[in-house]
Chain A
Amino acid sequence: MSINPQEFLIGVLARKLMGARHVAVGSASPLTGAAALLASELSDTPMRVTILGSKSHVFFTEGSRELFDASAQGRIDAFMMGGGQIDGQANVNLMGIGPYPKLSVRWAGNYGTPYLYSLIKRTVLFREEHTRRVFVSKVDYVSAAGVNEPNVFRPGGPSALITSLCTFGFDRKRGRFMLESIHPGHTLEEVKDNTGFDFDAPEHVPVTAIPDNRVLGIIRDAVASQIAETYPQFAERLFGIGRRAARTA
């Protein structure tokens, strides 16, 4: 079976979630939602998936503040988020471009990221666009800090960064990204040319493994039908199934 770039990224993201007991995904984020559902399907142990904005993938009965309270208690152990700018220390900017508060471009704002990034054990950063516009040496505004002073209580933080070109790991002690693998068809030169921060790389950088046919089958069947409930347009575009075909969990 041939795999399209979005299915490939769903498979790559899901690998970074394995072993979690409870994955949370923000709203307006169909690819990461699909990745969480795939990881749950592939997991040998029970893995709960909370998709904010969904009806069937939300387990809270005490209102939307329960997500935050549960996160602070360690009841959610993996999270995925993107960012308008991400720098080499894994600081994430969701506020805008320019000197705050006189921004030249304003984005939506912090949401819950300053909190969730610190408290949920691992966060997988995901941004498809791999350019120097996004991956900067220093973000213009720190919505969510990649690292803290050692005396700050911080059980969580960045564990990986996935883009359309490659996969990075993150060393929390040193506060640096480390290239893990480059996606098929791309080169180290290309990654360097399009990244505005310094990062470490092994002597021989592996090629990111392509999800196998079994995984691809799960993406197109179980994942597609579940994600269609929350993101019907995305499911229609990628898998050709709409809301009506959605499986209600």
Chain B
Amino acid sequence: MANNSKIIVDLDTLISHIKDGCRLAIPTDFNGMYSGAAVSATRALIRRGVRDLHIIGVPTGGLQADMLIGAGCVKRMEAGSMFLGEFGVPPAYARALKAGKIEMRDSTCPAIHAGLQAGEKGIPFIPLRGILGSDVVSYRNDWKVIDNPFGENDPILLVAAITPDVMLMHAPMADRHGNIWIGRRRELAVAAHASAVTLVTVEKIVDTDFMADEQAVTGVLSNLYVTAVSHQPKGAWPLSFGNDYDEDAEHLHLYVESARTEEGFKAYLDRYVFEREVVPA
């Protein structure tokens, strides 16, 4: 196979693929296996001052989305729900919505998964059962209800394919060629397949070739879909990363308390994102 070592880059080079105004897919913060949220890359994006993002939560949004929204990087948010685990609704998101600073495109989790599956197949839409009767259908003018052409008097929902410009995620490991081991979290692979560009931060880079290992390869996202990889140990902090580290509940608590007000959020960014000394007022 081709040597793809040029795929492994530093963090600023990795995020340089995320342009202002792009449609950016990010994984949910919370998963029993590990958080796929690339939080250190998110901090780098805020430092760079990216603007007008359309974020797609796969299928929900949490800390990453909240940080980007609070920092003024987001124009539109699309997700099945927005939550910060036991801390509830993300505070910067709630403030931005109230102030009319972002547009919220409410969805439902299976519609996002199905839309990405359509994107992966290169088809324009996909039908899915259920959902009819929910107000989400009446408010989504990009969705359609048709009569099942293979049935009779059988209304069914069609959702448009979701084809993000960029998928950004954090994964357990990459091999030297930039193949990514994601384990059983295949929804991350589906989102990557549907996206034009996939950027991955990883806990570790191992000097091997996953494609030559029949057991490892079943949990792999092939570098066919990967544009850039960056080595970011603790890249999901303060979220949990499975067996590697638990969520930093104390820090999340501090984040939620800080993000409730604009001043508090700015002070948080100064301290933890821009890494400036905070001068007490």
**Which A positions have Cβ atoms within 8 angstroms of B?**
27-28, 52-55, 58, 60-66, 68, 72, 94-95, 100-101, 106-119, 141-145, 147-148, 151-154, 230
For residue B185, which residue of chain A has the nearest CB?
A: A63
| Residue among B94, B110, B113 facing the most chain A CB atoms (10 A cut-off) | B110
How distant is the Cα of A230 from the Cα of B60 in the complex, in angstroms?
Answer: 20
A-B residue pairs in contact (CB < 8 Å), sample of 14: A53-B30, A53-B31, A58-B32, A62-B186, A65-B113, A108-B81, A108-B83, A111-B60, A111-B81, A115-B111, A118-B132, A145-B134, A148-B133, A152-B132
B108 engages A64 (CB within 8 Å): no
| Residue among B28, B82, B129, B186 facing the most chain A CB atoms (10 A cut-off) | B129
Residues from chain B with Cβ under 8 Å of A152 in the complex: 132-133, 155
A143 engages B30 (CB within 8 Å): no
B81 engages A115 (CB within 8 Å): no
Residues from chain B with Cβ under 8 Å of A52 in the complex: 32
Q: Does B104 contact A (CB under 8 A)?
A: yes
Q: Does B109 contact A (CB under 8 A)?
A: yes
A113 engages B32 (CB within 8 Å): no
Q: Kindly identify, within residues 97 to 117 of chain B, every residue whose CB is under 8 Å from any CB belonging to chain A.
A: 97, 104, 106-111, 113-114, 117
Residues from chain A with Cβ under 8 Å of B94 in the complex: 106
Residues from chain A with Cβ under 8 Å of B186 in the complex: 61-63, 65-66
A68 engages B154 (CB within 8 Å): no
A109/B81 contact (C-beta < 8 A), A115-B128, A151-B153 known: yes
**Which B positions have Cβ atoms within 8 angstroms of A?**
28, 30-33, 59-60, 79-83, 85-86, 88-89, 94, 97, 104, 106-111, 113-114, 117, 128-137, 139, 153-156, 184-190
Contact of B88 among A60, A108, A112, A230 (CB under 8 A): A108
How distant is the Cα of A62 from the Cα of B97 in the complex, in angstroms?
Answer: 34
Q: How many residue pairs, one in A and one in B, have C-beta atoms under 8 Å apart?
A: 141
How distant is the Cα of A153 from the Cα of B114 in the complex, in angstroms?
Answer: 18
CB distance from A244 to the nearest CB of B (A): 13
CB distance from A29 to the nearest CB of B (A): 11
Residues from chain B with Cβ under 8 Å of A95 in the complex: 106, 135
How distant is the Cα of A148 from the Cα of B131 in the complex, in angstroms?
Answer: 10
CB distance from B203 to the nearest CB of A (A): 18
Residues from chain A with Cβ under 8 Å of B89 in the complex: 106-108
B81 engages A94 (CB within 8 Å): yes
| Residue among B89, B128, B136 facing the most chain A CB atoms (10 A cut-off) | B136
How distant is the Cα of A14 from the Cα of B212 in the complex, in angstroms?
Answer: 48
A118-B130, A145-B132 given; name 13 further pairs at CB < 8 Å.
Answer: A54-B32, A65-B186, A68-B113, A68-B114, A109-B79, A110-B108, A111-B80, A111-B109, A115-B108, A115-B130, A116-B130, A143-B136, A147-B133
